[in-house]
Chains A and B, each alone.
Chain A
Amino acid sequence: MSRYLAPAGLEEALVALAGGARPVAGGTDLVVGVRQGRFPIPDDLVAIHRLAGFRGIAEGADGGLVIGAGTSHAEIVAHPRVTRDWTGLADASAIVGSPATRATGTLGGNVANASPAADTVAPLLCADAVIVCRSTAGERRLPLDGFATAPRRTLLRPDELIVAVELPAPAPGSASCYVRLEHRRQMEIAIVGAGALLRLEGGRVTAARVAMTALAPTVRRVPEAERILLGSDGGAAAVTAAAEAVAAAATPIDDTRASAAYRRAMAAVVTRRAIGGALARARGETVTIPASDTLFGAA
């Protein structure tokens, strides 16, 4: 590798990307991936951790949130609007890696890396997140739904940088939750994960989002499960049926951490707990962040 640039201005970074440079923010995926031999270190790197306006969380005009792509997981989980209104995202950011990973790793990196086990993606899908991409040619705003196309593949073009993740205002009466199955509390990657967002009005579910993690080539929504919940009373029968729909839609793999059969068997359990956590929060009950701790027993 030969070239390195660490600009403070976005335009300079975008020009570098257009010239073939690859971006590095916290480096938590890049440096480990290189050492594991999954890809070579890029010849031309542009560091984006110094970019002005790249880090931080701003309130959008419509009551939504604009999270700079360089915002760390630690900053996300410390933000009062996130913990109040996007609780599922807080559940996820609170359990990514270790305290050091969370201080260094960024939301934009988690999305761009497109791991099938990325913790933040399921709750972001439930929140109808929009990915803001910039290049020297201009800006594209892409729905997160469909952004990842395969493991570690996204719609992001090589000359584009994710600059922000936009979250629309949450509907009144809605709440979200993210839960993952793990062998241990910390320093873990999801064996199976699930995100859910439910809106309750007059005892009926009037909006439903369910997304599954580490159960398909990409983290993705499960429309079959959402349809079962929509219009239901959010009772045990509907929740169980929705969870079964996730298990039926899952196409998990065998790897060193779990067999496909085990993942499929656990898919319904984890989904049921995520939906249950979202429903409890929508009813005003407290489910402590991160929900995984609460739903799988004491830490």
Chain B
Amino acid sequence: MRYETSFRLNGTPVSVSVEPSRTLLHVLREDLGMTGTKEGCTDSECGACMVLLDGEPLNACSYLAVQADGREVTTVEGLSAPDGSLSALQRAFLAHGGVQCGFCTPGMLISATALLARDPDPAEETVRAALSGNLCRCTGYQGIVQAVRSAAAEIREG
């Protein structure tokens, strides 16, 4: 049996009919075309599948899509402005070499977006802790941490 599941996806109401056993990750990628969200370990270890659920980071690989009903989901596609211009955080990732192969980047951006929403001036250790659920297989962490701190400064200074 399928269940009609309605939620806001990157600010736009969507409705999909899903089997209760399907994960939010698969529904986002396969039914809704949001392939920016990646499938990595499927074990809540790597963070490649991370999205925001009501503003909080979530491993979409380990969450049932039906439980998103009535809620607000943000994927990496929702971080840029409607005209396609990048967020301060996305620009900082490019400027600081925070992207190598790119597979972890959507999840990193999601975790960092959640961090900056609650802490506009995070210390380096705070950034590292907030990104601890996101693994970079290229081990490019230095550029990522620098990018987050640089974006925080840019946002603070307006």
Q: Which segment of A52-60, A99-107, A192-200 sits at the interface?
A: A99-107
Complex contacts, A283 vs chain B, CB 8 Å: none
Cβ of A99 and Cβ of B21 under 8 Å apart? no
B39 to chain A, nearest CB (A): 12
Complex contacts, B21 vs chain A, CB 8 Å: 1, 34, 41
B1 to chain A, nearest CB (A): 5
Is B132 among interface residues, defined by CB-CB distance under 8 A?
yes
* Distance between Cα atoms of A98 and B47 in the complex (Å): 9
B 54-70 binary contact with A (CB < 8 Å = 1; else 0) = 00111101111011011
Cβ of B69 and Cβ of A6 under 8 Å apart? yes
Complex contacts, A103 vs chain B, CB 8 Å: 56-58
Is A32 among interface residues, defined by CB-CB distance under 8 A?
yes
Beta-carbon nearest neighbor of B50 in chain A: A100
Is B37 among interface residues, defined by CB-CB distance under 8 A?
no
Chain A interface category by residue count:
20 to 34
Most buried by B among A31, A32, A187: A31
- Residues in B20-50 with C-beta less than 8 Å from chain A: 20-21, 23, 42-45, 47, 50
Cβ of A186 and Cβ of B43 under 8 Å apart? no
Is B14 among interface residues, defined by CB-CB distance under 8 A?
no
Beta-carbon nearest neighbor of A74 in chain B: B56
Complex contacts, A186 vs chain B, CB 8 Å: 129, 132-133
Is B88 among interface residues, defined by CB-CB distance under 8 A?
no
* Distance between Cα atoms of A66 and B133 in the complex (Å): 29
Is A286 among interface residues, defined by CB-CB distance under 8 A?
no
Is A28 among interface residues, defined by CB-CB distance under 8 A?
yes
* CB-contact partner of B132 in A3, A24, A26, A98, under 8 A: A98
Cβ of A97 and Cβ of B133 under 8 Å apart? yes
Cβ of A35 and Cβ of B43 under 8 Å apart? yes
Cβ of B64 and Cβ of A2 under 8 Å apart? no
Complex contacts, A36 vs chain B, CB 8 Å: 43
Complex contacts, B130 vs chain A, CB 8 Å: 99
A 5-22 binary contact with B (CB < 8 Å = 1; else 0) = 010000000000000000
Cβ of A99 and Cβ of B3 under 8 Å apart? no
* CB-contact partner of A187 in B111, B125, B132, under 8 A: B132
A230 to chain B, nearest CB (A): 37
Is B72 among interface residues, defined by CB-CB distance under 8 A?
no
Is B77 among interface residues, defined by CB-CB distance under 8 A?
no
* CB-contact partner of B45 in A27, A187, A299, under 8 A: A187
Cβ of B67 and Cβ of A99 under 8 Å apart? no
Is A147 among interface residues, defined by CB-CB distance under 8 A?
no
Beta-carbon nearest neighbor of B45 in chain A: A187
Cβ of A299 and Cβ of B125 under 8 Å apart? yes
Cβ of A32 and Cβ of B57 under 8 Å apart? no
* Distance between Cα atoms of A4 and B128 in the complex (Å): 38
Cβ of B132 and Cβ of A28 under 8 Å apart? no
Complex contacts, A50 vs chain B, CB 8 Å: 70
A 93-129 binary contact with B (CB < 8 Å = 1; else 0) = 0000111110110000000000000000000000000
Cβ of A99 and Cβ of B132 under 8 Å apart? yes
* Distance between Cα atoms of A292 and B48 in the complex (Å): 27
Complex contacts, A100 vs chain B, CB 8 Å: 44, 47, 50, 56-59, 111, 133
* Distance between Cα atoms of A101 and B23 in the complex (Å): 16
Footprint of B on A, CB under 8 Å?
Answer: 1-4, 6, 24, 26-28, 31-32, 34-36, 41, 45, 47, 49-50, 74, 97-101, 103-104, 185-187, 299
Other A-B pairs beyond A28-B44, A49-B67, 17, CB < 8 Å:
A1-B21, A2-B1, A3-B1, A3-B20, A4-B20, A26-B63, A32-B44, A36-B43, A99-B57, A99-B111, A100-B44, A100-B50, A100-B56, A100-B57, A103-B57, A103-B58, A299-B128
Can you identify 21 A-B contacts, CB atoms within 8 angstroms? A3-B20, A4-B1, A4-B3, A6-B66, A6-B67, A24-B67, A27-B63, A27-B64, A31-B61, A31-B63, A32-B43, A35-B42, A49-B67, A99-B114, A99-B130, A100-B59, A100-B111, A101-B59, A101-B133, A103-B58, A104-B56
